[in-house]
Copies of this chain bind each other. A is one copy, B any other.
Amino acid sequence: MNQKQLDILGHTHQLFMEKGYVDTSVQDILKRSGISKGTFYKYFSSKSELLLSLLSSLQESLILQREKVAIEYKGDNQKVFEEQIIFMLSFAEQNKIPEMIESTLVLNEVKTFQYIEELKAATFNWIYERFQEIFPSKTSPYLFDGAVLLEGMLNNIFKMNKALNYPLPIEQIVRYCMKRIEEIVIEVAEQKEQLFNPSVYSAVFNEKTESHFSTELTRVTAKLKRVIENKLTNEEEQKKSLEFVTFISDELLQNDTEPRTFIIQSSLLSLEKINTLAQTKELEEYKEVITILTRHAS
């Protein structure tokens, strides 16, 4: 993400918040950003990629700030958690994240839906993990259910609060819900009443995490390929690079055998030796994703 891209992203965020994704034409974005069509399509391959980039950057910022909250509000872990939830809800509302996410439905692309699912799963997973830190270990088998319930309660109370023109402050909602969840968790632990079996979940979730990085992989691969095709004038080098990139993708995405991580690593090194690619952000991003994927596989 260079400055120009961030700039476009900023203007687009404005426009999307004002009129929504559907009613914002690419033309509008060009006008607002003061650029021409050519420039736009140089930095973003499509209007939908732009939306995903936007969501991605918002998510990044949300996670960063959420961890900051944990550092600043030192004290009772549950209190910290509440503060974090409050922050997340405020952030989502201010940046109209729910609306942005709804917009992605227009795209009707399976990959996009997966990515959104993964964003949501990440949030849920975070809550679930935090629950395990906060609540006594006795209740552990019921915390998955608890996390599902908390999310549901918060979502629906928020919708109602919005429909009623915000009579309740976020803080009150969060505290109310946490109390209810505490009571529920204690009760169901006593009654041994379990809804979801967390072990089933963890299988699915890990699969999800992988598929998250799979879509990440296709994203960064596409970007890198574009760089290769545009910047590498030497035909020999271009061919070579593309061969490496294609190999790595194939290796990681096939499901039959384990990916051969050493060959992948050496391919990465070879890619880094190509001067024109060496310091591009695209390659850096690419390396990150590959690293995570291979670490996961090993």
Contact = CB atoms under 8 A, between A and B. Distances in A.
B154 A172 contact: no
A156 B158 CA distance: 14
A195 B183 contact: no
A133 to B, nearest CB: 21
A23 to B, nearest CB: 5
Interface stretch (A50-58, A69-77, A103-111): A103-111
A160 B150 CA distance: 13
The size bracket of the interface on A is 35 or more
B164 A204 contact: yes
Contact of A164 (B108, B173, B187, B200): B200
A278 B50 CA distance: 54
A141 to B, nearest CB: 15
A155 interface: yes
Interface string A142-180: 000000110111111100100111011000110010011
Number of copies: 2
Nearest to A208: B163
Given A152-B157, A173-B195, A195-B176, A164 B105 contact: no
Contacts of A108: 20, 22-23
A183 B292 CA distance: 44
Given A23-B108, A105-B105, A183-B187, A200 B153 contact: no
Contact of A197 (B165, B167, B197, B204): B167
Contacts of A155: 152, 155-156
Nearest to A150: B156
A242 interface: no
A184 interface: yes
Given A106-B106, A152-B157, A200 B163 contact: no
Nearest to A157: B148
Pick the 6 closest A-B CB pairs, nearest first: A152-B156, A152-B152, A152-B153, A22-B108, A106-B106, A151-B156
